[in-house]
Structure 1
Amino acid sequence: MRVVVAGATGRIGSRTVARSRNHGVEVTPVSRGEGADVITGRGLTEALRGTAVKMDSRLIAAFDDLATTVFDQITEEDKVATRWRLGGHHTGRFLDCPPTGRYASFTTTTVDRL
C-alpha cells in the first residue's frame, strides 16, 4: 500500500513519514519542498496517483491512535470506489477544537480515478 502524507516536512509530518516507513509502508511525502502544494494544487496529481490513503498530518497530531479501516473496494474501468472509516481518540487540538478525549470516527466512500 502507498500512502501520501500532506505536510510531510513539518514537525508532525516528518515523524509520520518516518514512523510509516519503519512499519514498511511506502510513503510519498507531499510538501512544497517536495514539489507538491496542497493549497495551489501544483504537483498533487502526480503525488496522489496510485495511492491507497491520503493523510493530513494535522489529523495524526490530534488523534494519536488514528486508524483507517477499508471495508470495500470496487473497480470499474479507470475508477476505484472505496468505502472506509477513519477514527481515533481526540487527544490534541484539531482546527479550532480543543482535545475532548472522546472517540470520533466517520465512514465515507471515495472514488478515485487511476
Structure 2
Amino acid sequence: MRIVVIGGTGLIGGKLVEKLTARGHEAVPAAPSTGVDTLTGEGLAEVLKGAQVVVDVSNSPSFEDTAVLEFFTTSTRNLLAAEAGAGVGHHVALSVVGAERLPDSGYMRAKVAQEALIKDSGVPYSILRATQFFEFLDGIAATSTDGSAVRLSGSLFQPVAAEDVAATLTDVVLAAPANGTVELGGPESHGLADLVREHLGRKGDPREVVADDAAGYFGAVIDDQSLRPGENPRLGDLTYDKWAAR
C-alpha cells in the first residue's frame, strides 16, 4: 500500500515511515525538504498519485496565534482537496488530547479547527489524539522559565513516548477509517511540575521548578482533566523511567 506521510521527516513522521516500511508498505515522507509544501500546494498532486492513505503529522513552524491557525487551516484545506482529486481513501491526522478544553490556547484552537475541516471534508478519516510527548519536556520547561525558576501548573497530565505515538499511528493507518477519534496517553499520570522537576534533575539542570497553578500551560489554565484522555484510551508501553533510561 502506498502511504504518504506529511511531515514524514520529523520526530513522529520519521518513526512512522520506518514502521510502515518494516511492514512492507511504500511509505513516502513528504515535507518541504522533499519538494512538498502543503501551505502552497506545491508537489501535492505528484506525491499523492496512487496513494491509498495520507497521514498528516506536520506541525506549524510558529506557535503564534494567527500563524498557527493559518498553518493548520490552509495546509489541511490544500491537503484534503488534493486527496479528493487523487481518490485517497483514508486521511489520518495527529492531534492533541484535550484540545477543545483549552480555548485560551491559540495552538489548541488551531488543532480544533483542523479537526473540524477533516470531519467536514467527506474524505474517510481517523484522528489520533495524543497527550504530550516525553520529548517535549525540555521545551515545556524552556517556555515556562522565569529567571532561574520554571513555573508550571501542578495539575496531572499523562505524557507518552514518541515511539508509542508512532506505533499507535501505524495501527490506525493500517486499519479501516474510524471516521472518528482515537485517544492515546502514556501508561502513568504525573504532576506536570513534578515530572519536569524530575526530568531537569536527571540532567543536572539547576533551575528550580515551582508548582504554580496560575502559571497555566501555553496560555491556558489547566486542571487534572485538561491534558488527560477520557474513558478507555489506548495506552503507550513506555513509562517515563523506561523512556529516560534509553
TM-score w.r.t. length of structure 1: 0.62
Distance (Å, rounded) in 2 between the aligned partners of 1:23 and 1:3: 12
C-alpha distance 100-61 of structure 1, shift in aligned 2 (>3 A): closer
Distance (Å, rounded) in 2 between the aligned partners of 1:33 and 1:103: 38
Where does the alignment leave 5 or more consecutive residues of structure 2 unmatched? 59-93, 95-127, 132-164, 187-219, 221-225, 234-246
**2:40 counterpart SS class:** coil
Which whole-Å deviations, capped at 9, do the CAs of 1:71-99 have from their partners, x for residues lacking one? xxxxxxxxxxxxx325533327xxx9734
Which whole-Å deviations, capped at 9, do the CAs of 1:5-31 have from their partners, x for residues lacking one? 010111111111111101111111110
Distance (Å, rounded) in 1 between the aligned partners of 2:27 and 2:5: 7
Does the Cα contact within 8 Å between 1:91 and 1:101 map onto a contact in 2?
A: no
Ranges of 4+ aligned residues in structure 1 off by more than 4 Å: 101-104
Q: Considering only CA atoms, is the larger Rg found in Structure 1 or Structure 2? A: 2
Pick the aligned partner of 2:178 from 85, 89, 97: 85
Distance (Å, rounded) in 2 between the aligned partners of 1:103 and 1:32: 37
Number of paired residues? 88
Find the counterpart in structure 1 of residue 227 from structure 2: 98
Find the counterpart in structure 2 of residue 32 from structure 1: 32
Find the counterpart in structure 1 of residue 68 from structure 2: none
Find the counterpart in structure 2 of residue 47 from structure 1: 47
Does the Cα contact within 8 Å between 2:7 and 2:57 map onto a contact in 1?
A: yes
Q: Write 1 or 2 for the structure with the bigger share of helix.
A: 2
Superposition RMSD on alpha carbons, in Å? 2.9
C-alpha distance 40-25 of structure 1, shift in aligned 2 (>3 A): same
C-alpha distance 34-61 of structure 1, shift in aligned 2 (>3 A): farther
C-alpha distance 88-43 of structure 1, shift in aligned 2 (>3 A): same
C-alpha distance 37-98 of structure 1, shift in aligned 2 (>3 A): farther
C-alpha distance 89-28 of structure 1, shift in aligned 2 (>3 A): same
TM-score w.r.t. length of structure 2: 0.31
Does the Cα contact within 8 Å between 1:90 and 1:102 map onto a contact in 2?
A: no
Q: Letter of the aligned partner of 1:85 in structure 2?
A: A
Does the Cα contact within 8 Å between 2:129 and 2:182 map onto a contact in 1?
A: no
**1:8 counterpart SS class:** coil
Where does the alignment leave 5 or more consecutive residues of structure 1 unmatched? 71-83, 105-114
Find the counterpart in structure 2 of residue 112 from structure 1: none
